[in-house]
Amino acid sequence: MHVQVLASGSRGNSLLVRAGELHLLLDAGLPLGELEQRLDQARVSPDRLDAIALTHGHLDHVRAAGLLAKKSGATLICCEALMRNNSVRSAPRLRTLKVGSPLEIASSRGADRISLLGVTVPHDAEPTLAFRVEHQGRIACLVTDLGSPEPALKHRLGDAHLAVLEFNHDAQRLAEGPYPRKLKKRILSSRGHLSNTQAGECLRALANPNLHTLVLAHLSSENNTPELALAAAETALQAAGRGNVRLIVAEQESVGTNLRV
Ligand SMILES: [Zn+2]
Ligand SMILES: [Zn+2]
């Protein structure tokens, strides 16, 4: 299994999962044309997509979901509560994901199957899911967006070989930065976004002997820097005795490396 970040940040999020012939997109938050360009850069034609699964209903995660599902023929997978979302309901094929129950997704072209598990995390879109994807014993997890560290993730996602985790902001930069007070309050709330320090706490739940790669995701362009986020991740991993984990910062404006899980 391979994962590749197509976009990450408040302007749009999308992650491509490849498992043999199976192609799964986690979130589709860019405008349709831009998302198609990113898929093209990843050398995947939209009609190869088997499914698109959604973490939550914020626009930076769902923007092109229904349109891309319609155009590509992919099945759109989300919680029941998201099915009435304007960006979702145009999808011709919808499939319900039940929180806490693994869903098997099959490739339309081959025998490949993956298991997708959604678990809830605290964020101001109800519900918001973190994902665990498993293919032939290899496990990747995606943990964005959330407002407070979730030690409970350890039980459901604490065996991943590759983790994508939100490192949204540096608390001091956010406090001293130009954002309006109301927006700062939303980001800082327990249902907003993780600071670098909080992401470090969350990482302790995800660090496990399998983990070989960590992707730092959903960085704020205004209130964070890759250097600050990387420093927080390194500190947390060293404290967990996992200083040898490969660290990669996901980009908003360009497609990332195709990573083996
Ligand atoms: Zn969100
Ligand atoms: Zn987001």
- Checking if the pLDDT of 108 tops 90, the result is no
Q: How far apart are CA 28 and CA 19, in angstroms?
A: 19
Q: What is the pLDDT of residue 54?
A: 98
For residue 215, give Cα distances in angstroms to 24, 211, 218, 242, 251.
Answer: 18, 11, 10, 15, 10
Q: What is the 123 CA–ligand 1 centroid distance (Å)?
A: 7
Tell me the ligand closest to 127's alpha carbon. Answer: 1
* Assigned domain for 198 exists: yes
Q: What is the 229 CA–ligand 2 centroid distance (Å)?
A: 17
* Assigned domain for 260 exists: no
- Checking if the pLDDT of 152 tops 90, the result is no
Q: What is the 225 CA–ligand 2 centroid distance (Å)?
A: 17
Q: What is the 61 CA–ligand 2 centroid distance (Å)?
A: 6
For 198-231, the pLDDT digits (tens) are 999 999 989 999 999 999 999 999 999 999 999 9
Full domain range(s) for residue 80: 2-254
**Residue among 77, 239, 237 at smallest CA distance from 167:** 237
As for how many domains the chain has, the answer is 1
* Assigned domain for 184 exists: yes
Q: What is the pLDDT of residue 110?
A: 83
* Assigned domain for 17 exists: yes
In the three-class reduction of DSSP (H, G, I as helix; E, B as strand; rest coil), residue 252 is classed as coil
Q: How far apart are CA 9 and CA 253, in angstroms?
A: 9
161 conformational bin, left if phi > 0, alpha if psi -120 to 50, beta if neither: alpha
CATH of residue 172 = 3.60.15.10
